[in-house]
Amino acid sequence: MASRKILVLGSGGREHALALRLLASPSVREVIVVPGNAGTARPPASLSEKVLRNASGSPLDVARAERPDLVVIGPEQPLCDGLADALAAEGHLVFGPSRAAARLEGSKAFMKEFATRHGIPTARHVVVSQPSELDAALATFSAPPVVKADGLCAGKGVLVAPDHESARRAALAMLSGESFGDAGRTVVLEERIEGQEASIHAICDGERYVLLPAAQDHKRIFDGDAGPNTGGMGTYAPAPLVTEALARVIEERIVRPTFRGMAAEGTPFRGTLFAGLMITSAGEPMLLEFNVRFGDPETQVLMETLDGDFAEALVGAARGALAPDAVVASNRHALCVVVAASGYPGTPRTGDVITGLEEAEAVPGVRVYHAGTRLEGGRVLTAGGRVLGVTASASALDVAHERAYAAVARLRFEGMQFRRDIGTRALTSPRA
């Protein structure tokens, strides 16, 4: 029976995708997004019998007023700040890890030490917290190391250094607080690993877990993986790079020991764990980072690859009673092209009118997820760096690719930029 009311916290493309997938779940009647964007302000025509709306105010106040059946926390910052604990203390059912479990993303030093304690394959690292320790630490790396700020830096706290001197300068600027304030006062240096990246998501109830299909992101702003890193410019799933055999290895070496280790250390993980992996040329998975929430724009494609009552899965995980068949993989392939504002990943241009949204969604299998958008006088305006996530699904990846780009071609706003090579590698490499 469609009776559940769910609160989703966040305002990105990830939250729009989660909101629509939850709204489509048979058990859900209403989804409220705080603060949301232009896309989450009303339900799509296909779900017009249900309620989708935005609300403003602090998450705790909105939860007190609305008494939802479940609260889903989208971004990492509130999780690392302990919002799941605060909501749970007021009696709300929450999907998202505790502050203690969120350290897997909130502190890279914690994550690296945890991985080392539990034998999880990851690059060799050294933690540095004093400038006086830096030169000795750098000298232990024969090749230039990757430099990472310990705390949350909105995806900007990592430098894949070209040489030791750049690594040294970046680390010093972090340690002094100049680059990222307190988030950089501890630094992790680690060995650089070569290979192809994959995004693995698993939903866990503290003990039991289910894996979602593998996805691939495109982090750099320009075609051919050139230019600076972004939050993610496009994704596809399932990623043929991760064969069934490799998925089993990832589960055994990385996912299972992480959930077991967290439970054994008294901080069981409830929520979505997103492991950023490097698959080496030898086919070995190495852990680069953990995120304690769904990826953005991974979620936009993952939601297309799942069947069944997704809300039931999240409620089950939040209650500590995840059913083994809670998540059903569909046979669909999905591809998402992020359309960003000019200036992104630096300061984006905002306030431009977006046209062609309906025409884009008229392409079969296409959904345009909103991220940095807002409504003004019935028009949709740009309001952030990543503006839209144009997502297509189909029975094959090449068809999803064609549909997504056909939809992007119908969209217009001043200065829009997007990558033209999302998914190209999977389309041109031999199918797994």
Q: Which two tokens stand for residue 382?
A: 């740009």
For the chain, percent helix, then strand, then coil, each to nearest 5?
Answer: 30, 30, 40
* Stretch 264-293 residues interacting with ligand GLY (CB under 6 A): 291
Looking at beta carbons only, is 298 or 352 nearer to ligand GLY? Answer: 298
**Phi, psi (deg, nearest 5) at residue 376:** -145, 115
Amino acid at 204: C
Q: How many residues bind ligand AMP (CB under 6 A)?
A: 13
Cis status of the peptide bond prior to 144, with omega within 30 of 0: no
Looking at beta carbons only, is 229 or 355 nearer to ligand AMP? Answer: 229
Question: If you write DSSP's letter for every residue of 215-280 in order, what string do you get?
Answer: BEE--EEEGGGEEEE-S-SEEEES-TTS-HHHHHHHIIIIIHHHHHHHHHTT---EEEEEEEEEE-
Looking at beta carbons only, is 238 or 316 nearer to ligand GLY? Answer: 238
Report the nearest approach of ligand GLY to the CB of residue 219 (Å).
Answer: 7
Compute the radius of gyration of the chain from its Cα atoms. Answer: 21
* Stretch 198-217 residues interacting with ligand GLY (CB under 6 A): 217
Looking at beta carbons only, is 219 or 374 nearer to ligand AMP? Answer: 219
Rounded distance, CA 22 to CA 305, Å?
A: 14
Select from 30, 298, 309, 312 the one that contacts ligand GLY (CB under 6 A).
298
* Stretch 129-158 residues interacting with ligand AMP (CB under 6 A): 146, 155, 158
298 binds, among ligand AMP, ligand GLY, none (CB under 5 to 8 A by kind): ligand GLY
Report the nearest approach of ligand AMP to the CB of residue 146 (Å).
Answer: 4
Select from 15, 69, 190, 296 the one that contacts ligand GLY (CB under 6 A).
296
- Contact assessment for residue 397 and residue 426, using Cβ atoms and an 8 Å cutoff: yes
Q: How many residues bind ligand GLY (CB under 6 A)?
A: 7
Rounded distance, CA 211 to CA 117, Å?
A: 23
Angle at 72 between CA 80 and CA 181, to 5 degrees: 20
- Residue 232 binds ligand GLY (CB under 6 A): yes
Q: Residue 294: which of 24, 73, 104 has the closest Cα?
A: 73
Looking at beta carbons only, is 271 or 295 nearer to ligand GLY? Answer: 295
Report the nearest approach of ligand GLY to the CB of residue 230 (Å).
Answer: 9
Alpha carbon distance, N-terminus to C-terminus of the chain: 40
192 binds, among ligand GLY, ligand AMP, none (CB under 5 to 8 A by kind): ligand AMP
Q: Which stretch binds ligand GLY (CB under 6 A): 134-142, 178-186, 261-269, 295-303?
A: 295-303
Judged by the rule CB under 6 A, the positions of this chain that interact with ligand AMP are 123, 146, 155, 158, 160, 190, 192-193, 197, 219, 276, 288-289
Judged by the rule CB under 6 A, the positions of this chain that interact with ligand GLY are 217, 231-232, 291, 295-296, 298
